Amino acid sequence: MDYLLHHYLDASAAATPHAVAVVDGGGEHSYAALSERADRIRGALHAAGVRPGDRVGIHAEKSVDTVAAIYAVLRAGATYVCLDPQAPPARLVTVVADGGLTAVLADEPRLGTIPGARVLALAEAVTAEPHSEPAPATEGDLAYLIYTSGSTGAPKGVMLSHRNAMAFVDWAVAEFAITAADRLSSHAPLHFDLSILDLFAAAKAGAAVVLVPPRLSLFPVRLAQFIAEQRISVWYSVPAVLSALATRAGLSPGALPALRLVLFAGEVFPVDRLRALMELLPGKRFANLYGPTETNVCTWHELDSPPPPGATEIPIGRAIANTRAWAAGPDGQPVPPGEVGELYVRGATVMRGYWGDPARSAEKLVPNPLTGADGDLVFRTGDLVRADATGSFTFIGRRDGQIKKNGYRVELGEIESVLNRQSFVDECAVVAVPDAAGSTRIEAFLVLLGEAGAEQVYAACRERLPGYMVPDAVHVIQAIPRTSTGKVDRQRLAHSGGRLTG
């Protein structure tokens, strides 16, 4: 019976050793080959002194060896920490020190990029003597740490156990009927939580996972060709990539015949772009998966048909299996349907806490206000939602995305929603910037289509928003900057002083 993440690989390698497990730039690799690679890397880790309970970094571009490294760390009873291959050295040093990493497996270009860390060459590790003796571990042990940006500017390590990840993966494989016949995309970088579904759902089902080259998303036409050529049947990514496929990939109705399931998460999907994509890909399943890193995925909504014209939002839906979610008022109690509250989540997917930060953990993991029972903790997401009469949630915005301006409460997401509905807007992001007078400025950054300019943006806002919500500044830029996980880089925008224009 599977009760640890790497047991998915163990079972598939035993049952279907010659089936394709990973597809990368080097070709197709079987489950037997992936398992052997993992044991060799584990041998290198054992020789380096890595033992159960240790944390091991992985600092490399995606490849079959990187996937094998993840399984090697898990088989060693240790916790894997995937580092951002594009992160600056200072951030890497911070993460290595904060996580107390015993060792870091790195590919050739990154061997000297983390001063002071014990770095093992991944290329050498895959040639080590195999080590296959089972390491002691339980489902409650940490499987991985994911470092996300903290409000203080310091990265915070989210602690996820085998049980946390498997509760989500098992649900997804069952709900979306993922089988050995599927070929799943691996678009998200490995330090982003979307990768958990890509890697482990494929292994549980004995399916193939196709590693998408990182830069391919910059070229929507080539990305569409890649999806077709690789016969990808299950796609999972942030909405920005799918928006580009809808508008700039030259898809014709009925394209991508092997694709059967499209999943998206991480940010709000502009409704017009989602409608366009669904019309181009009729007959496919589309689902919106919601959940901060701290909960994996906790709610979901499947779209039965394209959103109708005039629709302004896509629900984030109901809680997945073995999870409870509710919109809470200030006292933590559920608010009535139709009212806005903070989303609270309780269940098997909820994190164990933040690494080395009990104070932050206690702030976000609070005693269940519905039971008050010892040890019964719920996660306060910080997201504002509204439930309808059926219990389906709609995302309203972030508590920290709600600002005060001249005494008015302003939800930045509402401004973005208005802008995204304009035919001349390709992409947009709205941020709040403190000014010298101690007040707050609202600044909008947009990529526009055709000959549109800032005046059209102002006009659209004045027509649809109260005066206090109209942006104080509109910046027309070439592209919205994004983080390495594909999300809008709001910190860069807020500190740019508008100098991204051009």
Residue 132 Rama label (left phi>0; alpha psi -120 to 50; beta): alpha
Is the domain of 388 the same as that of 413?
A: no
Question: Do 267 and 386 reside in the same domain of the chain?
Answer: yes
The candidate with the shortest Cα–Cα distance to 469, out of 430, 435, 498, is 430
In this predicted structure, what is the pLDDT of residue 208?
98
SS3 for 60?
coil
Position 361 scores a pLDDT of 97
Whether 182 is covered by a domain: the verdict is no
Structure-block tokens of residue 343:
């989303």
Confidence band (pLDDT; 50, 70, 90) for 1? low
Per the rule left: phi > 0, alpha: psi between -120 and 50, beta: everything else, 288 is beta
pLDDT greater than 90 at residue 141:
yes
pLDDT in tens, 65-120: 999 999 999 999 999 999 999 888 888 999 999 999 999 999 999 998 898 899 99
Question: What is the spatial distance between Cα 115 and Cα 121, in angstroms, rounded to a whole number?
Answer: 15
Does residue 380 share a domain with residue 489? no
Query: Do the beta carbons of residue 304 and residue 276 sit within 8 Å?
Result: no
Q: Is the pLDDT of residue 148 over 90?
A: no
Answer yes or no: are the C-beta atoms of 58 and 82 closer than 8 Å. yes
pLDDT, residue 401, reads: 66
How large is the angle between the packed helices 31-47 and 6-15, nearest 10 degrees?
130
Cα–Cα distance measured from residue 99 to residue 56, given in angstroms and rounded to the nearest whole number: 9
Q: What six digits make up the tokens of 125?
A: 């590790």
Q: What is the CATH number of the domain that holds 445?
A: 3.30.300.30
- The type of residue at 50 is V
For residue 160, the model assigns a pLDDT of: 98
Q: Which pTM was predicted?
A: 0.87
- pLDDT category, 227, cuts 50, 70, 90? very high
Q: Are residues 419 and 280 in the same domain?
A: no
Separation of alpha carbons 121 and 106, rounded Å: 5
Half-sphere exposure of 123 (CA within 13 A, CB side): 6
Confidence tier at 502 by pLDDT (50, 70, 90) = very low
The beta strands (E) that lie in 257-374 are given as 261-264, 285-290, 299-303, 318-319, 323-328, 340-347, 353-354, 365-367
* 54 and 153 co-located in one domain: yes
Asked if residue 502 is part of any domain, the answer here is: no
Confidence of residue 439 (pLDDT cuts 50, 70, 90): low
- pLDDT for residue 59: 97
Write phi, then psi, for 129 (nearest 5 degrees). Answer: -65, 130
Strands of 440-448's sheet, edge to edge?
425-434, 440-448, 473-476
274 and 348 both lie in a single domain: yes
Distance CA(127)–CA(295), nearest Å, equals 37
User: What is the distance between the alpha carbons of residues 402 and 412, in angstroms, rounded to a whole number?
Assistant: 6
Verify that 324 and 382 share a domain, yes or no.
Answer: yes
Helices of type H across 378-443: 412-420
pLDDT at position 407 is: 59
* pLDDT band, very low/low/confident/very high, at 18 (cuts 50, 70, 90): very high
Last residue of a domain, one of 161, 186, 220: 161
Q: Is 417 a residue whose pLDDT tops 60? A: yes
Residues 412 and 386 occupy one common structural domain = no
The predicted pLDDT at position 413 comes to: 81
Residue length, the chain? 502
How many CB atoms within 10 Å of residue 250?
A: 11
**166 lies in some domain:** no
- Report the range of poorest mean pLDDT among 273-277, 404-408, 445-449: 404-408
Looking at residue 21, which CATH number applies to its domain?
A: 3.40.50.980
Roughly what angle, to the nearest 10 degrees, separates helices 220-229 and 239-248?
A: 100
Single out the residue in 399, 415, 432 at which a domain terminates.
399
Report yes or no on 199 lying in a domain.
Answer: no
Q: If residue 446 lies in a helix (H) or strand (E), which one and from where to where?
A: strand 440-448
In this structure, the answer to whether residues 114 and 28 fall within a common structural domain is yes
Weakest mean pLDDT among 161-170, 230-239, 402-411, 467-476: 402-411
Give the helix, strand, coil percentages of the chain, each rounded to 5: 30, 30, 40
* Residue numbers of the domain that contains 226: 212-399
What percent of the chain is modeled with pLDDT above 90? 78
**Domain co-membership, 381 together with 451:** no
The residue ranges of DSSP E strands in 352-468, in sequence order, are 353-354, 365-367, 377-387, 393-398, 402-405, 408-411, 425-434, 440-448
DSSP string, 210-254: EEPPGGGGG-HHHHHHHHHHTT--EEEE-HHHHHHHHHHS---TT
Are the C-beta atoms of 261 and 237 separated by less than 8 Å? no
With a cut of 80, say whether residue 8 has pLDDT above it: yes
341, pLDDT greater than 60:
yes
For the chain, the average pLDDT equals 93
Give CA–CA dist 31/468, Å, rounded. 58
Q: How many domains does the chain have?
A: 3
Query: What is the separation, in whole angstroms, between the first and last Cα of the chain?
Result: 57
Lowest mean pLDDT among 262-266, 373-377, 438-442: 438-442
Q: Could you tell me if residue 1 is inside a domain?
A: no
* pLDDT at residue 440, as a whole number: 79
- The CA–CA distances, whole Å, from 296 to 94, 197, 346, 481 equal 24, 9, 12, 25
Amino acid at 122: L
Looking at the domain assignment, is residue 143 inside a domain? yes
Residue 127 phi/psi, 5-degree rounding, is -110, 5
What number of other Cβ atoms are within 10 A of residue 54's Cβ? 18
- Looking at the predicted structure, is the pLDDT value of residue 125 above 80? yes
- Shared domain for 246 and 133, answered yes or no, is no
Q: Is residue 176 part of a domain?
A: no
Look at residue 187 and tell me if it is in a domain: no
Boundary of a domain, candidates 348, 377, 399: 399
| Residue 325: CATH number of its domain | 3.40.50.12780
Greater confidence, 254 or 284?
284
> Other C-beta atoms within 10 Å of 17: how many?
15
Q: Kindly state whether residues 471 and 372 are assigned to the same domain.
A: no
Is 364's pLDDT higher than 90?
yes
* pLDDT bracket for residue 424 (50, 70, 90): very high
Amino acid 483: pLDDT: 87
